[in-house]
Structure 1
Amino acid sequence: MFRQWKLLTLIATVIIYIIGILILSLVNLQATSQQKRFRTSRFVSDSNAHIHHNSETSLLRRNPVQQLQWCTELKFMDQKPTDRTHSSIKQQNHQTFLDSDRNEFTNGKSEKSDQVYALASFPGSGNTWLRYLLQQATGYLTGSVYKDYGLLRSGFPAESISNKSVLIVKTHEFGFATTEKFKKAVLLVRDPAKSIIAEFNRQSGGHVGHASIDRYKRTNGRYWLKFVTNKLNTWVETNMFWGRNFTGDVLIIWYEDLVDNVENTLRNILNFIEFPIDEDLLACALKRKEGIYRRKKRLLNFDPYTASMKKMIEKKRIYVYKELGRYKSNVNL
């Protein structure tokens, strides 16, 4: 009797053990499935997502194109109202798309033309925001020498187009091979301390996101110091080349002036590129001037610039500002 009871106890123990394993396996399987769905959800909010994804994905995630509304339907410069290519531009949920035929026609190539104008700047100077304002104020597409897929899908369908079919062409490049294809250039200049941080944020968090605090302190600050030094030199070279070596006419736009007086700045640019001003569209552009392409200010709980960095930046800034005719030295860093 004792042996039978012992055998039954052993069998019961084994059965309970097996049931326990099955239950644990089932729980783990469900947890893994939920975690996978969470990671792949397009609506997941991850404060560190900008570290793992490129700027285009981050831009689209934080700023759905439904937020964007145009004052009028955007079109190409060589496109008349009755032009049958008008159907190549479609508005769907406030997002502008281009049919593939148009892209194939331009093929993303630049052509030397007396009607191609450059919108040149160092990255982080507000180029995207100014393009947005110009598209609002004119109803015409702006182009770019780049192909930023985030911008391509959220308001700038003429990305990679840099010929006379667009109002103006964005570029951060400099050098004679770059500048010779343009007749005129609008040079957007921003304080280097602010533009360098803006570019640091863009590389980490997209066009409207911010870099994490940890990125400033990466490798005990050496990464940030190298970034500042390299970008400051590029800031000088970009602005000095376009401002001094470009053979065509140059209109220098100071970012601070653009912020303080959007209307006057837009009027100056449109007059410079000899584009007729539509007062209704200009008024609409001013009402919608913020758009979705201006990065919201974020106060850091520390000063990212050391005393030596500030001294280096101020020296370069004063030099460039004087050379370009901006005799302003008291800009807060």
Structure 2
Amino acid sequence: MKTEIWLVFFIQLLIVRAEDSPTWLNIAETMMPLNVKNRCNVQDIGCFMLIPTYPKTNLKYPITHERCLHKCYMEYTKYSGLINNQCYCGTTLDKFVSNSTCNTDCSIELANNCKSDGSIHIYKLDIYTESCGDGFKSNILESSRIGCLEMPYNLHNHNSVWYMTGMTGQQCVLQCEMFKYTIAIPVLRYSACICSYIFTTFEHAEEIIASKILCNDKNLISGRIVPLYKTSSWDNQCTHRKFLNNYPADKMISVTGFAGSGTTWLRHLIEVVTGYYTGNHGEEHGAYEDGMIGEKMPVSAGRTAVNYAMFRNFIYRVDITYERIILIIRDPYHALKSAYASVVMGSRKASLHSVYYTEDNFHTFVMEEILHWQILPMVLLEKAKEKPVLLIYFEDLINDTMRQVRRIAEFLPQNLTGNSDRLEKRLICTAIEIQGNFKRSEKYKTDTDPFDYKTKRVINESVKAVDDFLKEKNFQALPLSYYRKKKSVWTDPSN
């Protein structure tokens, strides 16, 4: 009797599984386990014509992309490039490419899409964290997660499905990378892996943002919600930013803002959504080494349409130089802390221990710099006169990034953003690459309020002056959160 009961139960279980199983399981191909030990965490810098300052690395076995990356990692070099079956490793980007001599035949155009005979595809290695040497660990996997979706039951014709006993997220990502797919979807409930492409998975950028909400432990444990990971492969429509040729000086767009207000991140978003590098009237070596190649390209060369100008220099040339202006404003309390950290540590991404904010130097810095925070928008808008100005609040950029990026795209001339179809694809690219490599370190993130009553009174007066001025000029008022009470609760979700 017991045997019959168990038999009935087993048959019912098979029926439920058959009804519940996705149809694509029937076409899944068997895959073999892959070696995850030498998988590197890298940033795609793009393609250039090689300037062979560095000697090639001699490898006795056939050279592959991953082997070249691993070799450079073991030599503690930050950059790796593969060309004509030769591996190059270097400590600085300058030794690979030279933008100072670029003209209308710049190396980036010659190496477009990495198809030119002399083009080298350059990657930046994360040599300071667990990467090639320690293998493809879970923290690296999680950093590549795009979002989560309901487990698909029907697949697009361009998808591939693989099956392997003991399937893991790392194995799935490696398998999809091997076949040049851009999206990996491990369905561990069925020991399966779905490989897909960005533009067959998402039609709009907002879908990517919405997918992040589904990524919670309860949903993932259920098995009906599956994670999506970005592989190291990129669709050509998302990578290989370019320089422009002879962009008119009187049509240029400026990005400006007080120090510590997110101007570098804003430039990153503009680069991704347009596909073109941005420039800088000064030069920031750290941004250049992180892939912002336009840092060393003279603005006068006409190779960049959107250029950053430090606020102190910008207010003296705004009335004669730019056709349009993008101004970013951040809560002065947070901006001043970030700006001070950059000054003390000499790095735009630095953070400070709370003890630094108790020193007299910090309070002196605040009392001097709050005047610059106040003067910038007031002088800029007065001198801009009839020129179009787009005002972006840093907090809005953090809380509703894609809406603000759409505003920016609408503000830019169409010759930079392209038609609606290209723009939508670039917006999808932006949603995937929102953070970039320009977020300030959270090592010493703290809720400590370092501002005393006197300092808050001075800052609040500056906030009110700017707020009144913006209202007078018919711009959006400053957020109420910019004002601080005598005893305020200090929170900084964006650091």
Checking the alignment, whether the CA contact within 8 Å between 1:68 and 1:291 is kept in structure 2 is: no
1:326 counterpart (433, 457, 476): 476
2:446 counterpart (269, 282, 300): 300
Q: Distance in 2 between matches of 1:89 and 1:308?
A: 59
Structure 2 match to 1:235? 373
2:286 counterpart (135, 150, 175): 150
Cα 1:167–1:91 change in 2 (3 A) is farther
* RMSD after superposition: 3.6
**Alpha-carbon displacement from aligned partner over 1:129-154 (angstroms, at most 9, x marks no partner):** 11111112222101011111111121
TM-score by length of 1: 0.66
1:28-177 superposed matches below 5 A:
67-69=42-44, 83-84=109-110, 86=112, 91-94=121-124, 113-160=249-296, 161-163=298-300, 164-172=302-310, 173-177=313-317
Gapped runs of 5+ residues in structure 2?
1-39, 49-98, 126-238, 485-495
Checking the alignment, whether the CA contact within 8 Å between 2:279 and 2:295 is kept in structure 1 is: yes
Q: Distance in 1 between matches of 2:411 and 2:105?
A: 22
Structure 1 match to 2:342? 202
Q: Does 1:251 align with 2:401?
A: no
Cα 1:204–1:256 change in 2 (3 A) is same
Structure 2 match to 1:215? 356
Structure 2 match to 1:273? 412
1:316 counterpart (434, 455, 462): 462
**Alpha-carbon displacement from aligned partner over 1:41-75 (angstroms, at most 9, x marks no partner):** xxxxxxxxxxxxxxxxxxxxxxxx965347x8799
Checking the alignment, whether the CA contact within 8 Å between 1:91 and 1:97 is kept in structure 2 is: no
Checking the alignment, whether the CA contact within 8 Å between 2:325 and 2:388 is kept in structure 1 is: yes
Cα 1:89–1:253 change in 2 (3 A) is farther
1:287 counterpart (411, 432, 439): 432
Checking the alignment, whether the CA contact within 8 Å between 2:358 and 2:450 is kept in structure 1 is: no
Checking the alignment, whether the CA contact within 8 Å between 2:332 and 2:482 is kept in structure 1 is: no
Letter in 2 for 1:300: T
| SS of 1:283 mapped into structure 2 | helix
Checking the alignment, whether the CA contact within 8 Å between 1:183 and 1:249 is kept in structure 2 is: yes
| 1:80 shift after superposition | 10
Checking the alignment, whether the CA contact within 8 Å between 2:47 and 2:122 is kept in structure 1 is: no
| SS of 1:278 mapped into structure 2 | helix
Structure 1 match to 2:92? none
Cα 1:82–1:258 change in 2 (3 A) is closer
| SS of 1:176 mapped into structure 2 | coil
Checking the alignment, whether the CA contact within 8 Å between 1:204 and 1:210 is kept in structure 2 is: no
Structure 2 match to 1:60? none
Query: How many residues in Structure 1 have an aligned counterpart in Structure 2?
Result: 256
Structure 1 stretches (4+) deviating beyond 6 angstroms? 72-76, 78-82, 95-98
Checking the alignment, whether the CA contact within 8 Å between 2:463 and 2:482 is kept in structure 1 is: no
Cα 1:321–1:141 change in 2 (3 A) is same
**Alpha-carbon displacement from aligned partner over 1:16-57 (angstroms, at most 9, x marks no partner):** xxxxxxxxxxxxxxxxxxxxxxxxxxxxxxxxxxxxxxxxxx
> Who wins on radius of gyration, i.e. which is larger?
1
Gapped runs of 5+ residues in structure 1?
1-64
1:192 counterpart (325, 329, 332): 332
Checking the alignment, whether the CA contact within 8 Å between 2:354 and 2:448 is kept in structure 1 is: no
Cα 1:138–1:192 change in 2 (3 A) is same
| 1:322 shift after superposition | 2.8
Q: Distance in 1 between matches of 2:108 and 2:458?
A: 56
**Alpha-carbon displacement from aligned partner over 1:298-327 (angstroms, at most 9, x marks no partner):** 443632111111111112112212322333
Kindly indicate which of the two structures has a greater share of residues assigned to helix: 1
Q: Distance in 2 between matches of 1:216 and 1:239?
A: 26
Cα 1:153–1:307 change in 2 (3 A) is same
| 1:195 shift after superposition | 0.7
Q: Distance in 2 between matches of 1:67 and 1:308?
A: 47
Structure 2 match to 1:27? none
Kindly indicate which of the two structures has a greater share of residues assigned to strand: 2
Cα 1:69–1:282 change in 2 (3 A) is farther
Checking the alignment, whether the CA contact within 8 Å between 1:318 and 1:329 is kept in structure 2 is: no
Letter in 2 for 1:162: V
Checking the alignment, whether the CA contact within 8 Å between 1:97 and 1:153 is kept in structure 2 is: no
TM-score by length of 2: 0.46
Query: Matched residues, percent identical?
Result: 20
